[in-house]
Amino acid sequence: MSKALPSAPDGVLEAALYVDDLDAAEAFYGGVLGLERIARQEGRHVFFRCGSTIVLLFRAEATRIAPRAGALPVPPHGAEGPGHLCFAAAGAALDGWVRRLEEAGIEIEADFRWPNGARSIYLRDPAGNSLELAEPKLWERAT
């Protein structure tokens, strides 16, 4: 008996960004953003939980090395230049996020409303990645 093929994945389980300084990344994502650190491998990566998604922060050059014999067979990867990640935040919480970020000395690059009324705040992490805090209604389907 043949099983039906899935129509699409269920969601995004993890998202990766590349950083040059794991200590700075950990201080920012864990301290400033308040994410829960779940794993760290010195010189290679630090991982955080954000709701039901895992945020993977890698040193790109360390991820380009093929796995050694007997290790998990994760293929080499890595990216150049700044990436982008958008975190969901309730509209009522965004003013608090602006205060929190400003108190931490983080510059807000943009703070605006999209045509559908959703608000987004843009900033940079210590590695230069573009981060966004946005109301989830940004991607809600029109009814």
Residue 92: predicted pLDDT: 94
Residue 43: what pLDDT? 94
Written as one letter, the residue type at 137 is: K
CATH of 14-66+82-139, picked from 3.10.180.10, 3.30.300.130, 2.40.30.10, 3.40.50.2000, is 3.10.180.10
- pLDDT score at 107: 97
Contact present, 104 and 82 (Cβ < 8 Å): no
- Can you give the three-state secondary structure of the chain, one letter per residue? CCCCCCCCCCCCCEEEEECCCHHHHHHHHHHHCCCEEEEEECCCEEEEEECCEEEEEECHHHHCCCCCCCCCCCCCCCCCCCCEEEEECCHHHHHHHHHHHHHCCCCCCEEEECCCCCEEEEEECCCCCEEEEECHHHHCCCC
pLDDT in tens, the chain (143 residues): 668 888 887 888 999 999 999 999 999 999 999 999 999 999 999 999 999 999 999 999 888 888 788 887 888 888 888 999 999 999 999 999 999 999 999 999 999 999 999 999 999 999 999 999 999 999 988 66
72 vs 82: CA distance, rounded Å: 27
Question: Residue 114: what pLDDT?
Answer: 95
